[in-house]
Amino acid sequence: MSASVSASASSNLPSDARSGPLRRLSQLRAYTQQHFSSSQPSSSSSSSGTRLSRRHTLSSRVSWFSPASTGPDSSQQLSPVGSRTSGPCPESEPPSTLARYSSVLFPSYRGLEIDLRPSRQSETPSSSPSNETGGSETQGTMARPRGSSQALNARPDLEGTSPSASAHLHAGALDSSDPVMSENPSTSSPRPKQKATIRFFPHQDTHQSSRPSLPFIPVSRTLPSDSCIIRVGRYSERDGLPVANPTDPSDAPVGFKSKVVSRKHCEFLYLNGQWHIKDVGSSSGTFLNHMRLSQPNMPSRLYTVKDGDIVQLGIDFRGGEEMIFRCVRIRIECNRSWQQQPNEFNKNTESLIKNLGKGDTADYSGCRECSICLGSVLRPYQCLFMAACAHVWHYKCVSRLIHTPDYPMFQCPNCRAYTDLSAEVDDTNDFDEEEVNKATPEDKRDSSEASRSGTTSPQLEAEPVPTGDEPRQGSLPVEAGLAANIESMRLHDMDASEAARRPPPPTSNNDAVPPSAGNDIPGWQSLTQSPNALPTRQSLLRADTPVRSESSEDNPLTPLNDSGPLALDGRAAMP
């Protein structure tokens, strides 16, 4: 049952919209935390509380090696590593990230649970004798109904708590499945992202030879609740400083510094899944697509507004040339949530990105052309630009649309979605529009992340590794999965010699798996199934090399040209 749940849930993983390996990394991080906390009852019953809390402070959120911690010495060796790995992830990362990532990953965790549980059961007697074998299992099954019952009140709590706090909660409470389970409902219940969002962009009427309308910073509002109203009027000092783009849901009034806008000009309401506009008795009128909504000083009825509609507030006052006498023309962007959630298109893009480095065996089903030059975006070593809407062009082609007078506002030439290219890189929102900005910093962080994980591996290698050492083995897939995600590598190729000896894991081939974050899982499964920890480690080490050397120009392992621009695939580097 849980397998089917995970399968269905993984199909709408928001992470699909994301392609950055770092993203996957953070998901994994979240995953491990869940994994950790749900298996915690077993470990906490066997181990001392002090060690637990220490682990939490060191690697409060990144408990990669949680299963390994059942053995005291391994935990001591490993937790510093864990904390170091957590380095790139800033502590200031807002809490909702964790909640969302966790919710994202949770279904996969459930799927995993099936595979992990047997091994955990078998490991418990050896590593922690005092542990009841069935403990974790019962925990899992018991917690599930609770999770669903908490569905309603879970999220508000979560968004309020900081990750470290929740981690401490894990540590403190024996009943640690609660936070985990409370993260679960967000997969089933509507996401916060589906709250009504509307954005206002300045619009210049190219038709009329009229003067330019009032320039303003694009405004974005996400309603805290559907009953909220966004009031629009003249900017007033009394309202305090206008917050153009609050990250949190807000119904703060929107003010424009124009004399032709009445103090109370119009309102935007969200009714029955549809945005509406209403003139609230403005003197100079509200125009929806050039149609005046009401007589002067008369409130109008509600009019529905659609994406792309133009709303004009007031009429240019001819008596003055100053900006303050200009009318306001707003281009509405709303009902775009479908675009920000995983959909066929951006999943395809993700698979495109994933497969860029895979050479001829790649699954190019998601590939498409640059809509500007009509050439394929899969040309090797071509600089690409991907907008938040998951449309991709050659940078060369799209650059003149980026570097416009409107910069940093970027309008997608395919779907007309606006993106603020200067927006802060925001890890909190799983499907927000900063993807574009992300590319560069993420890459950098990737490689640093990778080298970090690379430093962990020798340490692992140095340890004596009896193949029967269950706890450590449990930890390895985490690491391996992490690396696999970072480098988009196919460890299984490296594993080939090992795999030849035993029946190949059914899902070991990445290509066979639909392009989703579910990709992480097959790797996991196969790795968990195979008790061979060492080859994985070796492959990890090797896998690590190309990425690290990628930053240097004289890379001896520079992948072949024909394998694509992002050739991080191990096979590209190796004969």
Partner 1 sequence: MGSQKRIAKELAELVESPPEGILVKLADESNLYTWHIYMDGPEGSPYYNGKFLLNLTLPTEYPFKPPTVSFKTKIYHPNVTNDDKGSMCLGMLRADEWKPSSRIQAVLQFARQLLAEPMPDDAVEGRIAEQYKNDRKRYEEVAKEWTRKYAVDS
Residues 6+ apart with CB under 8 A from 173: none
- Quick check: 187 and 27 in contact, CB under 8 A? no
- Smaller CB separation from partner 1, 2 or 411: 411
The binding track of 207-236 with respect to partner 1, each residue x by CB under 8 A or -, is x-----------------------------
Task: Sketch the per residue contact string, 416 through 435, with partner 1: x for CB under 8 A, - otherwise.
Answer: x-------------------
**φ and ψ of 164, to 5 deg:** -65, -35
- Candidates 212-220, 231-239, 412-420, 552-560; binding stretch for partner 1 (CB under 8 A): 412-420
Q: H or E segment at 170? A: helix 163-172
Q: Which helix (H) or strand (E) holds 234?
A: strand 229-234
Q: Which is nearer to partner 1, 290 or 416 (CB)?
A: 416
Residue in 517, 388, 549 with CA at minimum distance from that of residue 567: 549
Tokens of 29: 């991080």
| Nearest CB to partner 1, comparing residues 389 and 547 | 389
Using CB under 8 A, which of 375, 441, 468, 531 touches partner 1? 375
Nearest to 219 by CA among 269, 253, 262, 257: 253
Element (H, E) at 229: strand 229-234
- The interface region with partner 1, picked from 297-305, 341-349, 410-418, 507-515 by CB under 8 A, is 410-418
Phi first, then psi, for residue 392 (nearest 5°) are -125, 140
Which among 23, 13, 12 is positioned nearest to 434, based on CA atoms? 23
Nearer to partner 1, 53 or 414 (CB): 414
Give the nearest distance from C-beta 413 to partner 1 in angstroms: 4
Question: In this complex, which beta carbon is closest to partner 1, that of residue 397 or of residue 521?
Answer: 397
List, in sequence order, the alpha helices (H) in 341-434: 344-355, 395-402
- The amino acid at residue 225 is S
379 is a contact residue toward partner 1 (CB under 8 A): no
**Contact by Cβ (8 Å): 476, 49:** no
3-state helix, strand, coil in the chain (%, to 5): 50, 10, 40
Look at strands 197-202 and 310-313 and give their pairing. Answer: unpaired
- In the complex with partner 1, the residue whose CB is nearer, 1 or 374, is 374
Please report, for residues 230, 270, 280, 502, the alpha-carbon distance to residue 225 in angstroms, rounded to integers and kept in the order given: 11, 9, 21, 55
Confirm if 433 and 423 have CB atoms less than 8 A apart: yes
By C-alpha distance, which of 279, 273, 329, 281 is closest to 306?
A: 273
Cβ neighbours of residue 531 closer than 8 Å, sequence gap 6 or more: 467, 468, 473
Q: Beta strand 286-288 with 291-292: parallel, antiparallel or unpaired?
A: antiparallel
Least distance between partner 1 and beta carbon 368 (Å): 11
Q: Is 413 in the site for partner 1 (CB under 8 A)?
A: yes
Cβ atoms of 548 and 450 closer than 8 Å: yes
User: 17 or 370: whose CB is closer to partner 1?
Assistant: 370
Nearer Cβ to partner 1 (238/400): 400
Determine which residue in the list 50, 92, 206, 208 makes contact with partner 1, applying CB under 8 A. Answer: 206
Span near partner 1 by CB under 8 A; candidates 103-111, 370-378, 463-471, 506-514: 370-378
> Strand 310-313 to strand 328-334: parallel, antiparallel, or no bridges (unpaired)?
antiparallel
Spatial CB neighbours of 466, under 8 Å, sequence gap ≥ 6:
none
* Site membership for partner 1, residue 336 (CB under 8 A): no
Q: How far is the CB of 414 from partner 1 (least distance, A)?
A: 5
Q: Minimal distance in Å, beta carbon 144 to partner 1?
A: 46
| The one among 241, 374, 462, 500 contacting partner 1 by CB under 8 A | 374
Minimum distance of partner 1 from residue 147's CB (angstroms): 44
Spatial distance between the Cα atoms of 78 and 264, rounded to a whole number of angstroms: 61
Half-sphere exposure of 44 (CA within 13 A, CB side): 22
* Amino acid in position 314: G
> Least distance to partner 1 from the beta carbon of 238, Å?
36
Residues 387-406 that bind partner 1 (CB under 8 A): 396-397, 400-401
Q: How far is the CB of 204 from partner 1 (least distance, A)?
A: 9
E runs forming strands in 357-446: 384-386, 392-394, 409-411, 418-420
In the complex, the smallest distance separating the C-beta of residue 409 from partner 1, rounded to whole angstroms, is 15
Q: How far is the CB of 19 from partner 1 (least distance, A)?
A: 21
Nearer of residues 382 and 457 to partner 1, judged by Cβ: 382
Nearest approach, Cβ of residue 218 and partner 1 (Å): 17
Question: Is the Cβ of residue 291 or residue 374 nearer to partner 1 in the bound state?
Answer: 374
Q: What is the smallest separation between the CB atom of 256 and partner 1, expressed in angstroms? A: 22
Residues 160 and 551: their CA atoms lie apart, in Å, by 39
* Residue with Cβ nearer partner 1 (207 or 501): 207
How many chain residues are in contact with partner 1, going by CB under 8 A?
Answer: 14
| Contact stretch for partner 1 (CB under 8 A) within 210-218, 314-322, 372-380, 505-513 | 372-380
**Of residues 367 and 425, the one with the C-beta less far from partner 1:** 367
Smallest gap, in angstroms, from Cβ of residue 429 to partner 1?
26
In whole angstroms, the minimum distance from the beta carbon of 334 to partner 1 comes to 19
When binding is defined by CB under 8 A, the residue of 302, 323, 372, 496 that contacts partner 1 is: 372
User: Which is closer to partner 1, CB of 118 or CB of 375?
Assistant: 375
Beta carbons of 514 and 521 less than 8 angstroms apart: no
Q: Closest separation between CB of residue 412 and partner 1, Å?
A: 9
Contacting positions for partner 1 (CB under 8 A): 206-207, 371-375, 396-397, 400-401, 413-414, 416
